[in-house]
A = this chain, B = another copy of it.
Amino acid sequence: MLFNEKMYELGSKRSVIRELFEYGKEQAKTVGAENVYDFSIGNPTVEAPSIVNETIRELTMTKSSIELHGYTSAQGDEETRQAIADYLNKTYQTNFKSDNFYMTVGAAASLSICFNALTASENDEFIVIAPFFPEYKVFVEGAGAKLVVVSADEEHFQIKFDELEKKINKNTKGIIINSPNNPSGTVYTEETIKRLAELLKIKSDELGTDIFILSDEPYREIAYDGIEVPYVTKYYNNTIVCYSYSKSLSLPGERIGYILVPDEVVESKKVYAAICGAGRSLGFVCAPSMFQKVIAKCVGNTGDINIYKKNRDLLYQGLMELGYKCHKPQGAFYLFVKILGDDEEEFCRRAKDLNLLVVGATGFGCPGWVRVSYCVDEDMISRSFTAFKKLIESYK
């Protein structure tokens, strides 16, 4: 075979989300951009805080080119890792050191590296809780392991613990959690995290294995109404955190994030070394050097999250008033809406006919719902209600 079939498939099948997004751009040419309500993509629409570009300009004026654009160590710039540790320790009363961090080219890289570092056998399984970000499957299978899905708790979008318990076995390498959640906008409560930690401790003891939590947290800072997003490492020792600045600093294209391996992780130094090795093997030499230095200066800042909150309130309230069943998001920038009728494809098609682009949640492991991304213009939300009204009326 000339090339790898699986890679070809991954590269030639456009995702449903990308299809919708491209359709929206085409449709805008026909009916006018103001008449297309594209809620398909999860791209930050809030500007990066001004300190980001100020820092970039300052760095180019004050640092030598060799220092600014040169290789950092594979783990990342010491100063950057220390700044992140200091920020987390101050914010969450943790006790991390610079050596617990491995800088990465964003969250996808963080995840891919972790799965490759931890997968030791083709029998290894990672469990994910629906609804979930579909690329997890790509990364887990790319690393040679299996993805096992626990179905969604459609009432509160927390965790169905009975089902999770049944799905844990001696091959379970880790549980992937993502809170605030893409696509449901849920934040796991402290009670959920405590119960999860408790279950994993019992199961690890019972099975004689060490089960990791992989906490994928790109939306950590995007939470509303003062809700607390529990810091998972404080509840369960064997937790690895995958983080990205894509959302908090609105830098999705710059590919900058980290993996955090606390000292409390089982054989943490060896796990950290395996992460370094996986990064090396996959072709990640170091995270972009200038943006590492930007992070050292900007850690703790965020874009104006209130913009997302206003969008959430407008959209949630508007759809509830129209009679839709919605899960009120506590974080991220996605609203989960129950379909009408019992055919998700039909619902999405009818929406699309009204130029209302929403993503069916079957791809997120949660059929019967759609994801409405509200990282969009506030005006577009207001204009979209007429179409949402027509959509619900078409089911009456």
Where the two chains meet, the residues of A that have a C-beta atom closer than 8 Å to any C-beta of B are 1-12, 43-45, 47-48, 52-53, 56-57, 60, 64-66, 68-72, 105-106, 108-113, 116-121, 135, 138-139, 141-142, 210, 250-255, 266-267, 270-291
Whether B71 contacts A283 by the Cβ 8 Å rule is no
Whether A210 contacts B116 by the Cβ 8 Å rule is no
**Chain A's interface: helix, strand, loop or mixed, by majority?**
helix
Please report the C-alpha to C-alpha distance between residue A139 and residue B281 in the assembled complex, in whole angstroms.
Answer: 6
Q: Which of B47, B48, B118 contacts A3 (CB 8 A)?
A: B118
Chain B residues, Cβ within 8 Å of A43: 66, 70-71
Chain B residues, Cβ within 8 Å of A271: 2-3
Whether A10 contacts B280 by the Cβ 8 Å rule is yes
Q: A56-B60, A70-B253, A266-B2 are in contact. Are A139 and B283 (CB under 8 A)?
A: yes
Chain B residues, Cβ within 8 Å of A56: 56-57, 60
Whether B69 contacts A252 by the Cβ 8 Å rule is yes
Chain B residues, Cβ within 8 Å of A109: 283-285
Whether B52 contacts A65 by the Cβ 8 Å rule is yes
* Other contacts beyond A10-B276, A53-B60: 19, CB < 8 A: A1-B120, A2-B118, A2-B267, A3-B270, A3-B274, A7-B275, A8-B277, A10-B280, A10-B281, A11-B276, A11-B280, A12-B277, A70-B252, A108-B284, A108-B285, A111-B283, A112-B282, A135-B280, A254-B289
Q: Which of B48, B111, B117, B119 contacts A65 (CB 8 A)?
A: B48
Please report the C-alpha to C-alpha distance between residue A250 and residue B64 in the assembled complex, in whole angstroms.
Answer: 12
